[in-house]
Chain A
Amino acid sequence: MGNHSDDARKTSSVVVTSHEEGKETFPNPGLPPHAPRLTDVDPHKAKSAERQVSLLFVISILGAILFWVAYFGIKIGGEYYDVMNPEPTNALRLQNLLLGLGIAFSMFGIGIGVVHWARTLMPDHEMVEYRHAVSAEADRAEAQEIVETIIAESGIKRRPLLRNTLIGSVILAPLTFVTFLRDLGPADPSVLKHTMWDKGVRLVRDPSGTPIKASDVTLGSAYHVLPENLSSLSHDQGYLNEKAKAVVLLMRLDPSDLKVSAGREDWNVDGIIAYSKVCTHVGCPIALYEQRTHHLLCPCHQSTFDAADECKVVFGPAGHALPQLPIAVDSEGYLVAQSDFHEPVGPAYWERGKHVKEMAGETK
């Protein structure tokens, strides 16, 4: 190594410069001379490249045949993901592999073959083409003249009545079609206020639909819960919509671990608590319950709620606590809701603040 670079390093924060504006530059030396390829000078090499290309095309043909062999030749007897018999699934996997490789080879054969042909046997002299201005100045003036003539002949400038009514109609006509969009859906945000939970509605297991005795909920348990009356809805009556709002997670904590705020003293049953499972961030079901830390984690964006502290947000992007479902025990020992949630479930929305106030009024 020479020592010539040392100074350049020392001047790291200064301009490395020569003459300023208008400095002389190196002339463009033009295209470098063309160096011939082996296939240009040696006919044997060219012949062998030709053979390689046709071999690649033959591989492509073999690939297509492989596809048909896999498509018609592989017979699958049985059903997939059988716990006792993995053979059908393996056969499907093999078929998928061979069909795909068949296509891959038939494509690669053509593609690589043609490119190899182009690289070795087609001329590789670089050529020059000249650029032209996107639009010549003269053309532009001419075009402008034409446009002006068109405008003048149409008379749109001379007849303002025509122009103004045309503008009006052209604005309004497309709006008729935009209007169709109005009935994309109902426009009443108040549907977001309530769920199917109500006084006396039993808590049932998801997915079996059986009711839950308070005594069944042992310490550390977590139950995924739906309202019993949900099953009375058919799909057409909005079963999924109601389910999406009503899902609840039921947990039992040691009552001494619970922090209970004023007004919520009787919302739990001996440490059994029920909270909406819909994340208050953007709505994923938060069902990751850690029974020792009492944390609930949303798997979508990692909002974390503390079940022991009325599901307040302890980490992540959620903006408010999960709504609590007040629960009680009915005469047969089953868990029931005391009422609906006292605030809208799920993510916050523009009208939420208003709805919270209204719902507080309803319950008083």
Chain B
Amino acid sequence: MKALSQKRRHPLAAIVLLALALLLTGGLYAVATATNEAKAETSTTYTATQAQEGEKLFISNCATCHGTNAEGTADGPSLVGVGAAAVDFQVGTGRMPMQMQGTQAQLKPGQFNEEQTDQLAAYVSSLGAGPSVPEDEYLDVSKGDAANGAKIFLANCAMCHNAAGVGGALTRGKFAPTLMGVSEKHIYEAMETGPQNMPVFNDANITPEEKRDVITYLKSQEVNNSPGGFALGSLGPVAEGLLIWTLGLGIILIFTVWLTSRSA
């Protein structure tokens, strides 16, 4: 402390301070734009070889619907600017490539391994800036705040995915899938990119820290069993009504018949 207070009056102090201030603003600006521009520059983490391999995979597996240059066709949207996160989500969860055209791409065992997924992501992110795969820091639930996550989840997500994250119906046969058992990374990427009919929740809407909170809340639902016993799919009153009309009535019927029958 003493040393610092002495050097404060050094002639170069003003310059150092100015430099620090510039660095700080610049850094902040960089962070801010990075979030707003959805971290376009992180695509550089992929190598050129990955992108080349990815292009080959793309041509043979995806180009039929998305076009040879990923410019999109009647059967599939353009992938320019969707970013690595979208590829990692869609291919990583097995939704892409789709088995056939339908109302909604479904979760299924992945067709590509992790390495191939990365290569595809590298190729697509080279086409235009877009959201990148999230950093591990934002997927660490031990750092998240479940209470804040619950608030954000209930306000933004529960209307489609249900309060307990078990999914729900959309129009014309589409549906919001369950979030139980979905990896932290894929939940993050889904919020970031808005796959299928899901709206986009970019970092300006829900910040990376808030996304982590949401994931924390969902994981707290996943790792904890309902304290009241079987959760009946967390579907609410319909499941409860069904249980009382089947199991409840069934047990009652057995007892009424026993009670009024004659003993042998």
- List chain B residues, Cβ under 8 A from A212: 204
> Do the beta carbons of B205 and A83 come within 8 Å of each other?
no
> Do the beta carbons of B170 and A80 come within 8 Å of each other?
no
- B153-192 near A? 1/0 per residue, CB < 8 Å: 0011001100000001011101010000000000000000
Q: Does any Cβ of A come within 8 Å of B257's Cβ? A: no
Interface with A: B41-49, B115-123, B221-229, B237-245, which one?
B221-229
Q: Does any Cβ of B come within 8 Å of A287's Cβ? A: yes
- A143-183 near B? 1/0 per residue, CB < 8 Å: 00000000000000000000000000000000000000000
> Do the beta carbons of B199 and A297 come within 8 Å of each other?
no
Chain B interface size, under 10 / 10 to 19 / 20 to 34 / 35 or more: 35 or more
> Do the beta carbons of B171 and A315 come within 8 Å of each other?
yes
The minimal Cβ–Cβ distance linking B234 to chain A, given in whole angstroms, is 13
> Do the beta carbons of A221 and B202 come within 8 Å of each other?
yes
The minimal Cβ–Cβ distance linking B232 to chain A, given in whole angstroms, is 14
The minimal Cβ–Cβ distance linking B177 to chain A, given in whole angstroms, is 14
> Do the beta carbons of A206 and B155 come within 8 Å of each other?
yes
Q: From DSSP, what is the main secondary structure of chain A's interface residues? A: mixed
The minimal Cβ–Cβ distance linking B112 to chain A, given in whole angstroms, is 24
> Do the beta carbons of A93 and B197 come within 8 Å of each other?
no
Between A80, A84, A97, the greatest number of chain B beta carbons within 10 A of the residue's beta carbon is seen for A84
Q: Does any Cβ of B come within 8 Å of A237's Cβ? A: no
Q: 8 Å CB contacts to A: which residues of B133-169?
A: 141-142, 144, 146, 151-152, 155-156, 159-160, 168
The answer to whether residues A285 and B159 also contact, given A89-B224, A97-B229 and a CB cut-off of 8 A, is: yes
Across the two chains, which residue of chain B brings its CB closest to A115?
B259
- List chain B residues, Cβ under 8 A from A86: 223-225
User: How far, in whole Å, are A322 and B155 apart by their CA atoms in the complex?
Assistant: 20
- List chain A residues, Cβ under 8 A from B223: 83, 86
The answer to whether residues A218 and B202 also contact, given A93-B229, A120-B263 and a CB cut-off of 8 A, is: yes
- A281-307 near B? 1/0 per residue, CB < 8 Å: 000010111111101010100101000
Q: Does any Cβ of A come within 8 Å of B262's Cβ? A: yes
> Do the beta carbons of B264 and A299 come within 8 Å of each other?
no
> Do the beta carbons of A290 and B155 come within 8 Å of each other?
no
- List chain B residues, Cβ under 8 A from A215: 36
User: How far, in whole Å, are A108 and B129 apart by their CA atoms in the complex?
Assistant: 67
The minimal Cβ–Cβ distance linking B173 to chain A, given in whole angstroms, is 11
- List chain A residues, Cβ under 8 A from B21: none
| Pick from B199, B227, B262: contact of A37, CB under 8 Å | B262
User: How far, in whole Å, are A81 and B217 apart by their CA atoms in the complex?
Assistant: 9
A-B contact count (CB 8 A): 120
> Do the beta carbons of B155 and A224 come within 8 Å of each other?
yes
- List chain A residues, Cβ under 8 A from B221: 81
> Do the beta carbons of A297 and B197 come within 8 Å of each other?
no
| Pick from A83, A222, A315: contact of B216, CB under 8 Å | A83
User: How far, in whole Å, are A215 and B205 apart by their CA atoms in the complex?
Assistant: 11
Q: Please count how many residues in chain A sit with their CB below 8 Å of the partner chain's CB atoms.
A: 51
> Do the beta carbons of A119 and B263 come within 8 Å of each other?
yes
Q: Does any Cβ of B come within 8 Å of A312's Cβ? A: no
- List chain B residues, Cβ under 8 A from A90: 224-225
Q: Does any Cβ of B come within 8 Å of A332's Cβ? A: no
- List chain A residues, Cβ under 8 A from B220: 81-83
Q: Does any Cβ of A come within 8 Å of B95's Cβ? A: no
> Do the beta carbons of A292 and B197 come within 8 Å of each other?
yes
Q: Does any Cβ of A come within 8 Å of B219's Cβ? A: yes
- List chain B residues, Cβ under 8 A from A315: 171
| Pick from B156, B176, B227, B258: contact of A224, CB under 8 Å | B156
> Do the beta carbons of A93 and B225 come within 8 Å of each other?
yes
Across the two chains, which residue of chain B brings its CB closest to A100?
B229
Across the two chains, which residue of chain B brings its CB closest to A222?
B199
- List chain B residues, Cβ under 8 A from A251: 199
Q: Does any Cβ of A come within 8 Å of B198's Cβ? A: yes
| Pick from B159, B199, B225, B263: contact of A299, CB under 8 Å | B159
> Do the beta carbons of B228 and A81 come within 8 Å of each other?
no
> Do the beta carbons of B142 and A84 come within 8 Å of each other?
yes
> Do the beta carbons of A37 and B171 come within 8 Å of each other?
no
The minimal Cβ–Cβ distance linking B34 to chain A, given in whole angstroms, is 14
> Do the beta carbons of A220 and B200 come within 8 Å of each other?
yes
- A61-91 near B? 1/0 per residue, CB < 8 Å: 0000000000000000000111110100110
User: How far, in whole Å, are A292 and B104 apart by their CA atoms in the complex?
Assistant: 11
- List chain A residues, Cβ under 8 A from B201: 221-222
> Do the beta carbons of A205 and B225 come within 8 Å of each other?
no
Q: Does any Cβ of B come within 8 Å of A38's Cβ? A: yes
- B232-261 near A? 1/0 per residue, CB < 8 Å: 000000000000000000000000001101
Across the two chains, which residue of chain A brings its CB closest to B196?
A292
Q: Does any Cβ of B come within 8 Å of A142's Cβ? A: no
The answer to whether residues A81 and B224 also contact, given A220-B200, A224-B156, A291-B194 and a CB cut-off of 8 A, is: yes
Point out residues on A near B: beta carbons under 8 Å. 37-39, 80-84, 86, 89-90, 92-93, 96-97, 100, 115, 119-120, 124, 205-208, 212-213, 215-224, 251, 285, 287-293, 295, 297, 299, 302, 304, 315
- With contacts A207-B151, A290-B171 known, what are 11 further pairs, Cβ within 8 A? A83-B219, A90-B225, A96-B227, A212-B204, A216-B202, A217-B205, A218-B200, A218-B202, A288-B160, A288-B170, A295-B171
21 A-B pairs whose Cβ atoms sit less than 8 Å apart in the complex? A37-B262, A80-B227, A84-B141, A93-B227, A93-B229, A96-B228, A115-B259, A119-B262, A124-B263, A207-B152, A215-B36, A218-B204, A221-B201, A287-B159, A289-B199, A290-B197, A291-B194, A291-B197, A299-B159, A302-B171, A315-B171
